[in-house]
Amino acid sequence: MGRNQVYCCICGGPFLEPGTREDEPGEWLYHPTLWTTVHDAKDGVELDMYKWELGMYTYDLIDPVDDSQRRVLEQEATYQEHNVFLISESGENVPAFHVVGNESPLYLAVYSQYSQLVQRFISSRPEAHDVFQISDKDKVSSVKQLWKVIFTRLPASGRGFTYNIDHPTRYYGITSLHLIEWELDNNPLVSKYIEADLIKVPQLTECILDNLEPDASGIRSEEASTDLEDQDWWFNKLITKKELPWLWDLDEDLVHKKQRTGDWNWELLVKKLSGPDIYRPEDETLRLPLGLRNRQRIWKCIEDARLGDIQRQIGPPHLGFAVPMQGNLWDGYTPKSQQSTA
């Protein structure tokens, strides 16, 4: 492994070569999907071709067609080594984040699990726009728009491969780990955090309900407001998931059953679940599984995505190496979506 290792462009986690840790936690880190763009043609669908602009250090689409004729194609693959992926269907070996020669298709490498996570995020948006066009102020509302945002982050390289793509928050701390030889055993806390399954979280609902506190009459937490809204209103916010769409798999039957057992402070629970730091493994406001914390981190990474949130590099590329972070491992930079417009 080491510095030639490739990292997911949605969450910043490492792709592992098959056979490294089979049948162990984190097995889903072996399963990448390559995203590329295609367009309608006379004989069916053709791959879009991209080129590297000499002297500009950017990638551009060759012979662009109407965006309505284009879409994002997701292909299952296997990570080999040194930024080589084997596409399962075609048997072709291709690199990610890099144009080969004068022109070639361009592939973005993500974990296969994230197709579901991205679709869940898009479903949570008030409106879905199945187009590539997106303003620099809007959240993504389609896979096409997420492709476009990540494409604009690419540090285009004409010589040498790019192994990881920058993110406005450094993936909330993960990019700092790209500067060392990544081994899951090097840092036990980070290893368990990264390898925890974020889709199938064991006993997710039970773990959340374990954080419920009694709603003692006359005793209100400082984190809870006055009785402007009753607890049933906050309960409904939790159960409908509109406030917390990343909890799509919350078991409503279990939550209703818990509600019938007493008077509970649903307001405090919802507000804590909405807190800005619950993605951090060391956060003490709630007791949550690491897989759920990692899910919330990645949800935030998608939610932060804005067109132009990473300035494309001008000048020779640094072969994809990240800039060292300062401060706490989990600290990130303020994303464009949260920066003041004043």
pTM: 0.86
Instruction: Judge whether 7 lies within some domain.
Output: no
Cβ neighbour number for residue 73 with a 10 Å cutoff: 15
DSSP assignment letter at 258: H
- 275-305 pLDDT tens trace: 999 999 889 999 999 999 999 999 999 999 9
Instruction: Judge whether 124 lies within some domain.
Output: yes
Q: Computed from CA positions of residues 130, 38, 61, 85, in that sequence, does the dihedral angle turn out positive or negative?
A: positive
Beta strand residue intervals within the chain, DSSP E = 32-41, 44-47, 50-53, 58-61, 70-79, 85-87, 93-94, 103-104, 108-111
Residue 176 sits in the same domain as residue 36 = yes
Which amino acid is residue 311, in one-letter code? Q
Residue 70 sits in the same domain as residue 152 = yes
Supply the pLDDT for residue 181.
65
Query: Beta partners for 214?
Result: 264
The CA distance from 146 to 310, in Å, is 14
Instruction: Judge whether 111 lies within some domain.
Output: yes
Q: Are 225 and 267 in contact (CB under 8 A)?
A: yes
The CA distance from 153 to 306, in Å, is 10
Residue 214 sits in the same domain as residue 325 = no
Indicate the number of domains in the chain.
2
Instruction: Judge whether 15 lies within some domain.
Output: no
Residue 176 sits in the same domain as residue 234 = no
**301, two tokens:** 């990474």
User: Long-range contacts made by residues 185-191, C-beta under 8 angstroms, separation at least 24?
Assistant: 189/281, 190/329, 191/26
Residue 245 sits in the same domain as residue 135 = no
Supply the pLDDT for residue 65.
87
The CA distance from 320 to 191, in Å, is 22
Residue 214 sits in the same domain as residue 144 = no
Q: Are 291 and 198 in contact (CB under 8 A)?
A: yes
DSSP assignment letter at 177: G
Supply the pLDDT for residue 335.
58
Query: Beta partners for 111?
Result: 32
Instruction: Judge whether 98 lies within some domain.
Output: yes
Residue 180 sits in the same domain as residue 115 = yes
Instruction: Judge whether 296 lies within some domain.
Output: no
Residue 257 sits in the same domain as residue 191 = no
Residue 264 sits in the same domain as residue 127 = no
Instruction: Judge whether 192 lies within some domain.
Output: yes
Query: If you search the block for the tokens 């390289």, which residue do you land on?
Result: 157
Please give the residue range of the domain that contains residue 250.
204-288
Q: Which residues of the chain have pLDDT under 70?
A: 1-4, 19-25, 54-57, 156-160, 176, 179-182, 184-186, 217-229, 311-342
The CA distance from 197 to 291, in Å, is 5
Instruction: Judge whether 293 lies within some domain.
Output: no
The CA distance from 138 to 307, in Å, is 8
Supply the pLDDT for residue 111.
95
